[in-house]
Amino acid sequence: MKKAVRAPRKPVRPSALQAESLQQTRREHASETAEDYVEAIADLTAAHGEARVVDLARRLGVTHVTVNRTLARLQREGYVSVQPYRAIFLTDRGRTLAAECQHRHGIVVAFLVSLGIPEKSAEIDAEGIEHHVSPATLAAFARHLAK
């Protein structure tokens, strides 16, 4: 009368937690583009006085077409203000997000460097890692740096 071919053994990692983690990761990826764009726009504006489509394309490693379409979405979502053939401006909301991202980015890079990781590797890894760092983890990184 063996009930199940599929043994009822408890899995190594509970399915529910893994599913929740992966869904969170997907949510983070959904906001990642916005974060990288507003950060780049803030950086470029600080460095050049303005952010242009072609600058963003070079900075982000994509074509100007991709930048254009993404900017349309970011405008729709209220992060930027775009007018044809004009420089790109952050809204208040965009500026707030950019500041948060710049702050978090700096902490992640500094933390990785503090572990002895070469500057360049730290910068490359941080660009991906930053979007998956929860407030608790960011705090832990900052705590570690303070020591």
11 binding a copy of itself? (CB under 8 A)? yes
CA dist 20 and 25 (Å) reads: 9
Q: Are 43 and 94 in contact (CB under 8 A)?
A: no
> Residue 42: in which H helix or E strand, if any?
helix 15-48
Shortest spacing between CB 72 and a copy of itself, in angstroms:
20
Q: What are phi and psi of 114, to 5 degrees?
A: -65, -20
Q: Is 51 helix (H, G, I), strand (E, B) or coil?
A: strand
Which CB sits closer to DNA, 17 or 146?
Answer: 17
Residues that bind Mn ion (CB under 5 A): 36, 105, 127
Please write down the HEC assignment for all residues of 56-104. HHHHHCCCHHHHHHHHHHHHHCCCEECCCCCCEEECHHHHHHHHHHHHH
132 binding a copy of itself? (CB under 8 A)? yes
Which CB sits closer to DNA, 34 or 126?
Answer: 34
Shortest spacing between CB 116 and DNA, in angstroms:
30
**Which residues lie near a copy of itself (CB under 8 A)?**
5-7, 9-13, 15, 17-25, 28-29, 36, 40, 43-44, 46-50, 52, 55, 58-61, 112, 115-118, 120-129, 131-134, 136-137, 140-141, 143-144
**Which residues lie near DNA (CB under 7 A)?**
1, 3, 5, 26, 29-30, 32-33, 52-55, 60, 62-66, 68-70, 73, 82-87
